[in-house]
Amino acid sequence: MRSLALALRRHPEWMVAAVLVVAVVTIGLINPVFWQPANIFSLLRASVITGILALAVLLVMLSGGIDVSFPAFAIAAMYLTVRAMVAWGFDGVLLPFAMATAIGIGLGLVNAAFVHYLRMIPLIVTLGTGTAVRGFILGVVGTSQINIDQMPPLLINFARQDLFTVTQADGSPAGLSAMVLLYAVIALLVHLMLRHTMMGRSIYALGGGEEAARRVGFNTRRTTFFIYGLAGALAGFAGLLHGAMIWTANPRDMVGLELDVIAAVVLGGASIFGGRGSVIGTMLGVLTLVVITNSLIILGVDTTWQRVVVGLIVIAATAATAWRDRKRIA
């Protein structure tokens, strides 16, 4: 047991990989429809938004904090951007994404300021900023949903692209969304940043011990602002991508999504105490969560059970990591 705990501490990815394999094999045995390209592709597509948001949460969790404001930031960035595009009659891809990302960064820096200067607990800060931002959007900007008929067409077409299409056994086509590639590229960049830059290592160091990080000479303020700024950027970007992928900009969207995303990150081996976690683990965690929750339908389980399943995954994953990270007794 001890060496298992040790191995898991070093390579938590194996654990979630094993869970994923078991889940996939079981689901595939119960209903072979699972293995159809259309289903696989749709699962991959469904993990894009959760995945990018999970990367944002991973950054914050690595540093020892937790973020629950990102769905609000994502929606704010998306709704403000789309409203602006509609109002100004502008259509495009690059500029809107730049705007959404910038809004995310700005909001993320607010989180960072509270966490760093006021030494507030990240959970409380992000609960507050998240709620405030949602309130602002609904109260000041608007509550009306922007539907497909008003959505900027270039934006929608961008998110609609497929990487390739295959013809399934029954002759119907199935395409793999190009957004999956986009997600993979973002994940790779975050991975390289975490693994191979001093900034990335300073995030781990901060999670290992803030005082120790300061003593070694890390600029913890810069690191904190970087973490929350980048998390905000990822949230803003993911928000607009989400709107483009579902062809609607709904200011009430993504409510309760934080739990799913945090569940995925913890499932991927990140420690709720900070300092431990990886991009690859997080991606596997996201995929596992998406596979399990989205397969309930083809397993013939009522979708109302979906929330129960998410809750159970959170509990099981946190229990497993807590067991792994348990301290020797005092």
Please answer whether residues 253 and 53 qualify as being in contact, where contact means their C-beta atoms are separated by less than 8 angstroms. Answer: no
Q: Does 207 sit near another protein (CB under 8 A)?
A: yes
Give the C-alpha separation, 278 to 316, whole Å: 19
- Provide the b/e sequence for 132-144 (b: ≥16 CB within 10 Å): ebbeebeeeeeee
Binding residue for another protein (CB under 8 A) from 275, 281, 292, 293?
A: 275
- Out of 29, 118, 169, 330, point to the residue binding another protein (CB under 8 A): 330
214 binds another protein (CB under 8 A): yes
What 3-state DSSP class applies to 305? helix
112 SS3 class: helix
CA within 13 Å, CB half, 321: 26
2 contributes a contact to another protein by CB under 8 A: no
The answer to whether residues 313 and 263 touch, using CB atoms and an 8 Å cutoff, is: yes
Pick from 178, 201, 247, 296: which binds another protein (CB under 8 A)?
Answer: 201
Say which residues have a Cβ less than 8 Å from residue 67's Cβ, sequence separation at least 6: 56, 57, 60, 61, 111, 122, 126, 228, 231, 258
208 lies in the site for another protein, by CB under 8 A? yes
Q: At its nearest, how many Å lie between another protein and the CB of residue 103? A: 27
**Binding of another protein at residue 157 (CB under 8 A)?**
no
Measuring CA to CA, which residue among 20, 34, 39 is closest to residue 176? 39
| Tokens 């807590």, residue located | 322
CA nearest 23: which of 319, 261, 309? Answer: 309
Residue with smaller CB distance to another protein, 160 or 214: 214
Burial of 258 (0-12, 13-18, 19+ CB in 10 A): buried
Query: For another protein, which stretch binds (CB under 8 A), given 112-120, 123-131, 198-206, 300-308?
Result: 198-206
Rounded to an integer, what distance in angstroms lies between the CA atom of residue 243 and that of residue 166? 26
Beta carbon nearer to another protein, 48 or 203: 203
**Residue 145 within binding range of another protein, rule CB under 8 A:** no
Query: Does residue 195 interact with another protein by CB under 8 A?
Result: yes
Q: What is d(CA 70, CA 122) in angstroms, rounded to the nearest whole number?
A: 12
| Contact map string, positions 12 to 51, toward another protein, x by CB under 8 A | ----------------------------------------
Selected binder of another protein within 87, 94, 118, 329 (CB under 8 A): 329
d(C-alpha 160, C-alpha 155), whole Å: 9
Provide, rounded to whole angstroms, the least separation between the CB of residue 86 and another protein: 41
Site membership for another protein, residue 87 (CB under 8 A): no
Question: Quick one: which of 149, 170, 211, 302 contacts another protein (CB under 8 A)?
Answer: 211
The yes or no reply on residue 189 touching another protein (CB under 8 A) is no
- Binding flag, residue 9, another protein (CB under 8 A): yes
C-beta atoms surrounding 77 within 10 Å: 33
Q: Does 276 bind another protein (CB under 8 A)?
A: yes
CA angle 323, 274, 317 (to 5 degrees): 40
- Of 241 and 320, nearer to another protein (C-beta) is 320
Q: Which of 139, 217, 256, 300 binds another protein (CB under 8 A)?
A: 217
Which residues in 299-328 contact another protein (CB under 8 A)?
327-328
Q: Is 302 or 327 the residue whose CB approaches another protein more closely?
A: 327
Among 55, 61, 205, 270, binds another protein (CB under 8 A): 205
Residues 6+ apart with CB under 8 A from 21: none
Binding site for another protein (CB under 8 A): 6, 9-10, 195-201, 204-205, 207-209, 211-218, 271, 274-276, 327-330
